[in-house]
Amino acid sequence: MAVGARSGAEGPEEGPVTPGGEASGEGSPEYPRSPGPPGGASGDADPGEPAASDDAASPRRARRRRQQPARQRSFWKELPILVGIAIVLALLIKTFLVQAFSIPSNSMQDTLQQGDRVLVDKLTPWFGNDPERGEVVVFHDPGGWLEETPSAGGPGAAVQSALSFIGLMPSAEDQDLIKRVIAVGGDTVECQEDGPVLVNGEALDESEYLFPGNTPCGDRGFTRFTVPEGRLWVMGDHRQDSLDSRYHQNLPGGGTVSEDDVVGRAIVVAWPVNRWSFLPVPGAFDSVGSAAAGLAPSGLGLAGALPLVLWRRRRLLRREVAAEAAAVEAPAAEAAAGAPRAD
C-alpha cells in the first residue's frame, strides 16, 4: 500500500476546503464546476460557498440593511400617544382659553335657550380686563343663589365627570350661573315696577334682548342702589323667570356678584348648529356713562371757578385795605392843611 496516496474517488472530501472555491476534482465529469455570476463574482447566498466568500459579502449585507426603509410604527401603538396629546391640549384650552357651558334654564331667553352650549372666554380676565355692562357672563354661585343638588351615581356620572375634567362636558357638581351685567362697581341702578331700568340716571332701552312680553323689572322693582366696587349687578333677559340680583338683596353684597367669581364672558352660541351666533354687547349700554362721568362736569366747573373766586376775593381785600389806609390818611392831611404856617 502506498502511504499518502489517495484515489480520485476521494476528491469530494477535499473540494469544500480548497482555497479559491475550486474543488480538487475540477475537470472531472462527476463533479462539474457550477457557473458563477457574470464578471466572476461569487454569489453570497450559495450555501456551498466558502467562509471567505461570506466575509466578503457581509459589508454588502450591511449596506442593504441601511438602504432598507425603517418600519412604520403600528397605528395601535401611536393611538395612546395621540390621545394623551389631545387630552393635554384640551386641558390647556379649558384652563386658559375657552370652556363650554350648557344652559340649564330659561332665565336668559330669548338670547339663550335651555340646552344651548356656549363658549366662554377665559383668556381676557387673565389680562386684567373687568366685566363690562351688557356682557353675558358665567359666574360661580356667590352663595345662596342655587339649591344644593345631589350628585348622581353610576357609569353615566363617571363618564360625565371624565369629560367635564377635560372640558368636553359641563360638570354636574359646578354651581355656575349665567346672567347679563347691568351695572358695574360705582354705578347706581334702580327700577320701578312699570318703568325702565335706570343706570346712573340713564334709562335703558332693553327691547333688543328682553324676552317678549316682559317688563324691565317684572314684579320685582327696587330702589336706587349703588353697586360696590369690584362687584356686579346682574339680571336675566327673561325677567319674569330669572332669580337674579333683584331677589338676593338680603344676602351679603346686596345681591351683587364679585368680579372674582366670574368665570368669563360668553362669546358665542356653539350648539346646536342652527343657533350658532355671537353674543355682542347691546347698543342700549352705549349711552350709559359712569357715575364718575356724571360728576365730571360739576367737578370741572368747580375746579375752573375756584381760581376766579380766589382772584376776586384777593381784589376785594386789596380794595378794603386801600380804603382803610385812605381813611387813616385823610384826617392827618386835613390837620396838616389847617395848621398856621410860620413866616
Catalytic residues: 107, 179
Task: Say how far apart CA 304 and CA 339 lie, in whole Å.
Answer: 55
Task: Say how far apart CA 129 and CA 286 lie, in whole Å.
Answer: 18
Helical ranges in 40-118 per DSSP H = 51-67, 75-96
| Among the listed residues 231, 227, 226, 265, the one whose alpha carbon sits nearest the alpha carbon of residue 127 | 265
Task: Say how far apart CA 124 and CA 143 lie, in whole Å.
Answer: 25
Burial of 261 (0-12, 13-18, 19+ CB in 10 A): middle
How far from the centroid of its chain's Cα atoms is residue 286's Cα?
Answer: 26
DSSP 199-226: ETTEEP--TTTSPTT--SSTT--EEEEE
DSSP 119-147: EEE-SGGGGTPPP-TT-EEEEE--SSSS-
Task: Say how far apart CA 34 and CA 22 lie, in whole Å.
Answer: 10
Task: Say how far apart CA 308 and CA 313 lie, in whole Å.
Answer: 9
Amino acid at 256: T
